[in-house]
């Protein structure tokens, strides 16, 4: 490639032959070209990594929002269930265990949180 650049420099200078200066200048052009190419590749790599990080952060935020919405929906559903089962009962605390026992184990944490929000201030 350096030879092609050297020939181009000779032609631009109006000469039909190469000299040492053409060869040396072509070497400098190639070094500069290699440095620029390396810089561009490094910047492209950095930009791709930054873009990938931003995309990962966005996916993380989206997942967190979905989890928060799902938790709020579970809480609201459980709270409504508790309210429905305790309507008309003078002391809802007397049926707490019975309601809780009727739930599967995964719903019990939601039950405890919802119950506390309703009856334990």
37 token code pair: 């190419």
Q: What is the rounded CA–CA span in Å between residue 70 and residue 32?
A: 57
Mean pLDDT value across residues 73-88:
93
pLDDT at 16: 92
pLDDT digit string (tens) for 9-64?
999 999 999 999 999 999 999 999 999 999 999 999 999 999 999 999 999 999 99
Closest residue by Cα to residue 2 from 35, 24, 21, 20: 24
Between CA 9 and CA 14, with CA 10 as vertex, the angle to 5 degrees is 115
Q: What is the C-alpha to C-alpha distance for residues 45 and 36, in angstroms, rounded to an integer?
A: 14
Quote the domain boundaries for residue 87.
2-119
Question: What is d(CA 69, CA 92) in angstroms, rounded to the nearest whole number?
Answer: 28
Residue showing tokens 């490094």: 42
* Tokens 């739930």 found at: 103
pTM: 0.59
3-state secondary structure of 19: coil
Reported as a pLDDT band with limits 50, 70 and 90, residue 92 is confident
The domain total for the chain is 1
């Amino acid at each position: 490639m350096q030879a092609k650049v050297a020939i181009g420099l000779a032609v631009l200078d109006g000469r039909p032959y190469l000299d040492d200066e053409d060869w040396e200048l072509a070497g400098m052009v190639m070094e500069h070209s290699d440095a620029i190419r390396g810089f561009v590749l490094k910047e492209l790599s950095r930009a791709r990594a930054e873009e990938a990080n931003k995309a990962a952060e966005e996916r993380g935020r989206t997942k967190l929002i979905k989890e928060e919405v799902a938790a709020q929906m579970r809480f609201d559903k459980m709270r409504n269930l508790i309210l429905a089962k305790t309507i008309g009962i003078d002391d809802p605390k007397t049926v707490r265990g019975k309601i809780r026992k009727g739930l599967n184990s995964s719903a019990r944490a939601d039950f405890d949180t919802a119950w506390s929000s309703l009856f334990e201030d």
